[in-house]
Amino acid sequence: MKLMQLYATMKSELQAIEDQMAQTVTSDLPILSETSQHLLKAGGKRIRPVFVLLSGKFGSYSLETLKRVAVPLELIHMATLVHDDVIDDAETRRGQLTVKTKWDNRIAMYTGDYIYAKALTVITELDKPRIHQILSGSIVQMCIGEMEQIRDFFNVDQSVRNYLRRIRRKTALLIAISCQLGAMATNAPVKLSNALYKFGYNVGMAFQITDDLLDLCGTEKAIGKPPGSDLRQGNITLPVLYALQEDGLKDRLLNEIALIKEEEVANSTAAVKLVRSSVGIKTAEKLADRYIVKALKALESLPDIPAKRNLADIARFVAKRSY
Amino acid sequence: MKLMQLYATMKSELQAIEDQMAQTVTSDLPILSETSQHLLKAGGKRIRPVFVLLSGKFGSYSLETLKRVAVPLELIHMATLVHDDVIDDAETRRGQLTVKTKWDNRIAMYTGDYIYAKALTVITELDKPRIHQILSGSIVQMCIGEMEQIRDFFNVDQSVRNYLRRIRRKTALLIAISCQLGAMATNAPVKLSNALYKFGYNVGMAFQITDDLLDLCGTEKAIGKPPGSDLRQGNITLPVLYALQEDGLKDRLLNEIALIKEEEVANSTAAVKLVRSSVGIKTAEKLADRYIVKALKALESLPDIPAKRNLADIARFVAKRSY
């Protein structure tokens, strides 16, 4: 089962969103159109627009209204990726050259700013102050999460709790509000939008943990960038933290991470190998599964409409992404 | 006459705005509070908040409402400065180390993102969709202006028109909407907010031209950064474009600019000297003056209240900043 099969029932709506995204970022300034289109073409899982659309089914569904939520949320996500690539010094993403590689850091920074601002022009077409407040508050949290990630680079003493707080801000929150705002935009009852927020939050946590697992266990072909990228840049993820709790492994792993930090090794291969041999992988998988269980539980209170089953299917898929 | 004397009647309101800005950017994450407070302490002319407050006098004045426009506009301006410093590789601004120098480029990028997002949390407290639309549209234009500036670095063939379009986006627009949104937020009639927009736009144009003149003719002490910074980074400003129209000077100036571009000279001193000896300075001053005349003209249709005289005084001051 591929993600796109799960999206099959929404094909035309998703195409409309894709078209609107392309139209939104089009600019008279060729360079901005080029960088933005380059990003759009690189694709992505589009999980945020999908969650917006499905959550909109719990209210008075209107594609026109939901587009004004889905397009900005995906564009904001895209803008953060461009800025992340500058920070991470990433050469490729999703198998494509990053903007900072194909152009340069300056272009990448302003492309991010531009896409972000364009996203706001779309959502401000909605006359719902509460939506704008939730969105801007979430973006603040995302920025804090990004900053925490820089702060925590190579910090091998951080707690699991610390990691979870960081990915909550960095990833889970935007996915959570994709569900919440989809419901709010279509005037679904507050009880439903709150339950959908909880669903999205838990899927988002599982999503990031799985992403971090993929970075350690995936192939370059599957993940679109060299595996071990996180460790190479000093991003200590959940499986690594668990591996560091393993007595027989701890010292060797600390040593390998120190070598990466001091740039005495060119890649993170040895460190990745150690983590893969540890219980860290299995333990992280289990935690991702637990988040999915919580996500499914959050759905229980929702009315039985097809969108509910779609959401559940996507949640189950997220924790099963192969590596 | 100093700018602060012109602000004397608004002292307590401006302090309230300063306090609100400090409170808004405060974060649980020490690094973000530090970078943001560093920026706030560096100060600035606060022309955007002042214009918001004075324009608010033409409607039903409410400091609480106007704070929600003034604080975000000044914070957005501040966020763009942090990102600009990354691009310009600027060591100092307003006599202070820039965030990118005191910390690093990564911190500067996310600090900008953070301050910008925080600005939005304040303005979204206002239930006026049109204000949000105007603001987001203007930010898009600002990003395009910044990108145009990169595109036009060292382009000695650009037209004056090209320069004017760029500074309109980069600077004049945000000053224009400071006036417009101050009036809109306090429910002033559309005719007034439109006239105030026109006033702000023309002051903004004069403001940027004067800034560009100061960069060529000011002392390091007066402008808080080494003079000639624009030329050193390849930013071809109005006086330079006019100087390039001077037959006896053109070839020598082109040659000096080429030396800067090819990094064969360490500074822009020789080029700056040539521009200062040209008619470029006087011609640019005259254009700035013409924008001020237009700004004052835009005020004519406004009711005769003290704020009108304040605005006129500030406009006259802008074109007279000494260098």
Kindly report, residue by residue over A278-319, the tens digit of the pLDDT: 999 999 999 999 999 999 999 999 999 999 999 999 999 987
d(CA B113, CA B27): 14
Cβ separation of B147 and A105 shorter than 8 Å? no
Asked if pLDDT for residue A323 goes beyond 70, the answer is no
State how far residue B136 is from chain A, nearest Cα, in angstroms.
5
Asked if pLDDT for residue B94 goes beyond 90, the answer is no
pLDDT for B105 equals 81
Task: Assess contact for A234 and A248: CB atoms under 8 A.
Answer: no
Mean of the per-residue pLDDT values for chain A? 92
pLDDT for A68 equals 97
pLDDT for A86 equals 79
Q: Which of helix, strand or coil describes residue B43?
A: coil
pLDDT for B1 equals 56
| Out of A33-37, A133-137, A178-182, least confident range | A33-37
State how far residue B119 is from chain A, nearest Cα, in angstroms.
9
Distances (CA, A) of A181 to A80, A150, A229, B25, B165: 19, 29, 33, 25, 37
Q: How many CB atoms lie within 10 A of CB B224?
A: 14
Tell me: domain A3-320, CATH 1.10.150.130, correct? no
CB burial string A224-244: b at 16+ within 10 A, e below: ebbbbbbbbbbbbbbbbbbbb
State how far residue B65 is from chain A, nearest Cα, in angstroms.
15
pLDDT band at residue B34, thresholds of 50, 70 and 90? Answer: confident
Among A125, A32, A147, CA closest to A79:
A32
What percentage of residues in chain A have a pLDDT greater than 70?
98
Residue pLDDT, tens place only, B216-234: 998 888 887 788 999 999 9
Asked if pLDDT for residue B60 goes beyond 60, the answer is yes
Question: In this structure, what DSSP letter does residue A9 have?
Answer: G
d(CA B222, CA A211): 52
pLDDT for A161 equals 97
What percentage of residues in chain A have a pLDDT greater than 90?
71
pLDDT band at residue B322, thresholds of 50, 70 and 90? Answer: low
Average pLDDT for residues A142-170, to the nearest whole number?
Answer: 94
Tell me which chain A residues have a C-beta less than 8 angstroms from the C-beta of B110. Answer: 83, 87, 143, 146-147, 150
pLDDT for A188 equals 98
pLDDT for B91 equals 75
Residue pLDDT, tens place only, A66-96: 999 999 999 999 999 888 887 777 777 777 7
Is B109 exposed, middle or buried (CB count within 10 Å of its CB: 0-12, 13-18, 19+)?
A: buried
Asked if pLDDT for residue A159 goes beyond 90, the answer is yes
d(CA A315, CA A295): 7
Question: In this structure, what DSSP letter does residue B265 have?
Answer: S
- The model carries a pTM of 0.90
Q: Which of helix, strand or coil describes residue B202?
A: helix
Contacting A with CB below 8 Å, chain B residues are 27-29, 31-32, 83, 86-87, 105-107, 109-110, 113-114, 116-118, 120-121, 124-127, 129, 132-133, 135-137, 139-140, 142-144, 146-148, 150-151
Q: Which of A27, A106, A143 lies nearest to residue B117, judging by beta carbons? A: A143
Contacting B with CB below 8 Å, chain A residues are 27-29, 31-32, 83, 86-87, 105-107, 109-110, 113-114, 116-118, 120-121, 124-127, 129, 132-133, 135-137, 139-140, 142-144, 146-148, 150-151
State how far residue B87 is from chain A, nearest Cα, in angstroms.
6
State how far residue B78 is from chain A, nearest Cα, in angstroms.
14
pLDDT band at residue A122, thresholds of 50, 70 and 90? Answer: very high
Among A257, A167, A255, A239, CA closest to A208:
A167
Name, of A19-28, A37-46, A140-149, B184-193, the range with top average pLDDT.
B184-193
pLDDT for B97 equals 80
Asked if pLDDT for residue A160 goes beyond 60, the answer is yes
pLDDT band at residue A322, thresholds of 50, 70 and 90? Answer: low
Best probe of the B interface among A27, A77, A110, by most B CBs < 10 A, is A110
Among A53, A71, A197, CA closest to A126:
A71
Asked if pLDDT for residue B83 goes beyond 80, the answer is yes
pLDDT for A1 equals 57
What percentage of residues in chain B have a pLDDT greater than 70?
98
- Residues in contact with B118: Cβ distance below 8 Å, sequence separation at least 6, in sequence order: A140, B24, B25, B75
Asked if pLDDT for residue B171 goes beyond 80, the answer is yes
Task: Assess contact for A173 and B157: CB atoms under 8 A.
Answer: no
Q: Scanning the structure block, which residue is given the tokens 């994709």?
A: A178
Domain spans, chain B: 3-320
Give residue B153's identity as a one-letter amino acid code. Answer: F
pLDDT band at residue B8, thresholds of 50, 70 and 90? Answer: confident
Mean of the per-residue pLDDT values for chain B? 92
Q: Which residue has better confidence, B212 or A1?
A: B212
Chain B residue at shortest CA distance from A121: B136
pLDDT for B254 equals 96
Task: Assess contact for A295 and A199: CB atoms under 8 A.
Answer: yes
Q: Which residue has better confidence, B297 or A322?
A: B297
Asked if pLDDT for residue B323 goes beyond 60, the answer is no
Distances (CA, A) of B117 to A30, A110, A133, B78: 27, 15, 11, 12
Tell me which chain B residues have a C-beta less than 8 angstroms from the C-beta of A31. Answer: 147, 151
pLDDT for B223 equals 81
